Amino acid sequence: MRCEENVHLLIDAAMLGEPPESSVAEHLRHCQQCQARFQREEKLFAAIDDALRARVSERPPSGFLVRASARLSEESITDSGANPAWAAAAVLVLALLALTRPWIASQPTIVAVTQVASAARVQQDISSTTSARDTNKEPVVARARKSNNHSDARSATPQEPEVLVPPDEQKAFAQFVERVAGQDAMAAAVVSHAPNKTIPTNTALPQVSSVDVAQLERADRDDSMDEIDGSE
Amino acid sequence: MQEFTWPGRTAETELVLDLEKAGLKREFEQRLEECGTLAFRVARGVLRNAADAEDVAQEAVLRAYRRFTRLRDPSRFRGWLVRITFRLALDQARSARRREHRETLWAMNTPRPTAEDIAASNEFGRRLEQAMESLPKKSRLVLLLASMDGHSLEEVAEVLQLPLGTVKSRLHSARKQLAEKLR
């Protein structure tokens, strides 16, 4: 067996830290040159392993975990905002909404309709505005307005309740509003919580005089947060 | 008249959310005790000094904390932490090299080191570092993890979520390349 034929087998054996296979071992017994080569390779791999092990087995400086924990208290888990692509997309959507809001407001499909919620009074034109809304295929947000505070339909504050109304339910919603306005017992039962529930929702019916029907904008924000959280 | 309150936005709910956050933090700190040293060692395997390695490991830990709700599975957490630490350490090493290069250019006129100086420096360590830098990143990470005391190849495969055969072949190839450069 010639020395050159053994080189790779020698290197592999040295690298794996195993004895060379029998034919190579037999050659090594008679060839001092290959013996020396094998020993050099063994030393080289041992030196590599030792140097790497020394480096990656170093203990962290004392107090490393304490310092890391201290830095955690300055931070918070903000998983939903972690993806910059989502954040950029959200900013873009908000910017588009802000830019298109005046145009949306000027569209004829956005109609100020009367009323919502509970013991409030419904203005008599609810039926006609509802039929106008039927032509709009997009979901809309019905926003209750407090009658004694606001006269402009678009001045409703974010604290006021918003109800997502799909296009095919707008008529039913208008009928419901009418029933509420008429102090209907069935409608009152719908807005009241069950007596054995302890959820501290406030079921006192706010005084409102009208309902804005507007294109959906705020209502999708919480939904998108749920999507991100649930994506993993 | 009372103000309208949305169901699910009550003070009780806020309290539950606060408690959940506190629970997450405790859970994370426990995970940090288990994996903090691993992060430091990965960084140390790439960087020349322990102080830089600690900075990088802490940055990686902070990033993991911010995304902890997605990384609660322990095996996933370890793998993610190892990878992010390795990436941050490579970035840090790259900028350190650039800084060093600038300083070397600036100090061109200073006296050259003598033969004794060179002999006294850790020549093998320097050459090993250069050889490591030339390895493919994937092989390098496998090599670092496999070099840690008590890390079997099966554990490396588990941490990196790789088949055992892939880990073995990357390790084999990395060691062979290192030896070729150091011969």
* Beta pairing, strands A208-215 & A162-165: unpaired
Q: With 0-12 CB in 10 A as exposed, 13-18 as middle and 19+ as buried, what is A82? A: middle
Nearest CB to B5; choose among A51, A56, A201: A201
How far is CA A207 from each of CA A119, A187, B2, B3, rounded to the nearest angstrom?
7, 16, 11, 11
Q: Which residues of A touch B10 (CB under 8 A)?
A: 199-200
A41: tokens are 């390779």
User: What is the DSSP secondary structure assignment for residue A80, as one 8-state letter?
Assistant: G
Q: With 0-12 CB in 10 A as exposed, 13-18 as middle and 19+ as buried, what is A68? A: buried
Cβ–Cβ < 8 Å for A167, A136: yes
Cβ–Cβ < 8 Å for B57, A60: yes
Q: How far apart are CA A115 and CA A160, in angstroms?
A: 13
Contacts of B136 (CB under 8 A, 6+ apart): B174
Mean pLDDT of chain B: 82
ipTM: 0.76
State the DSSP string of A132-161: HHHT--S-EEEEEEETTT--SGGG--TTS-
A192: tokens are 């009241």
Question: B106 to chain A, minimum CA–CA distance in Å?
Answer: 30
The residue type at B150 = G
pLDDT tens for B114-160 read 555 544 457 788 888 889 999 999 999 999 999 998 789 999 999 99
Question: How distant is the alpha carbon of residue B39 from its chain centre?
Answer: 5
State the pLDDT at residue A114. 38
State the pLDDT at residue A89. 75
User: What is the DSSP secondary structure assignment for residue A215, as one 8-state letter?
Assistant: E
Phi then psi for residue A213, to 5 deg, are -110, 115
User: Ramachandran region of residue A80, left (φ > 0), alpha (ψ -120 to 50) or beta?
Assistant: alpha
The residue type at B65 = Y
Question: A207 to chain B, minimum CA–CA distance in Å?
Answer: 9
State the pLDDT at residue B145. 93
**H helix count then E strand count, chain A:** 9, 4
Question: A111 to chain B, minimum CA–CA distance in Å?
Answer: 25
Q: How far apart are CA A64 and CA A77, in angstroms?
A: 21
Q: Is A202 on the interface with B (CB under 8 A)?
A: yes
Nearest CB to B125; choose among A45, A51, A56: A51
State the pLDDT at residue A140. 52
State the DSSP string of B112-178: PPPHHHHHHS-HHHHHHHHHHHTS-HHHHHHHHHHHSTT--HHHHHHHHT--HHHHHHHHHHHHHHH
pLDDT tens for B32-89 read 888 899 999 999 999 988 999 999 999 999 998 888 888 778 778 889 999 999 999 9
| CA-based max dimension of chain B | 90
Q: Give me Rg for the CA atoms of chain A.
A: 37
Nearest CB to A77; choose among B6, B7, B68: B68
Question: A135 to chain B, minimum CA–CA distance in Å?
Answer: 30
How far is CA B127 from each of CA A48, A106, B121, B134, rounded to the nearest angstrom?
10, 72, 11, 11
Q: How far apart are CA A165 and CA B40, in angstroms?
A: 54
Q: Which residues of A touch B182 (CB under 8 A)?
A: 44, 48
**Residue with the two structure tokens 């649930």:** A230
Least CA distance to B72: which residue of chain A? A232
Within 13 A of A190's CA, how many CA atoms are on the CB side?
13
Could you read off the pLDDT tens digit of each residue along chain A, which spans 232 residues?
578 777 888 888 888 888 888 888 888 888 888 888 888 888 999 989 888 888 888 889 988 988 988 888 777 665 444 455 666 777 778 878 777 777 666 665 444 443 444 434 444 444 444 444 444 444 555 554 444 444 444 444 445 556 677 777 777 777 777 776 776 666 666 666 665 555 555 555 555 555 666 655 444 343 333 332 333 3
Q: How far apart are CA A98 and CA B16, in angstroms?
A: 34
B174: tokens are 């990395």
Contacts of A56 (CB under 8 A, 6+ apart): B41, B42, B44, B45, B144, B147, B148
State the pLDDT at residue B157. 93
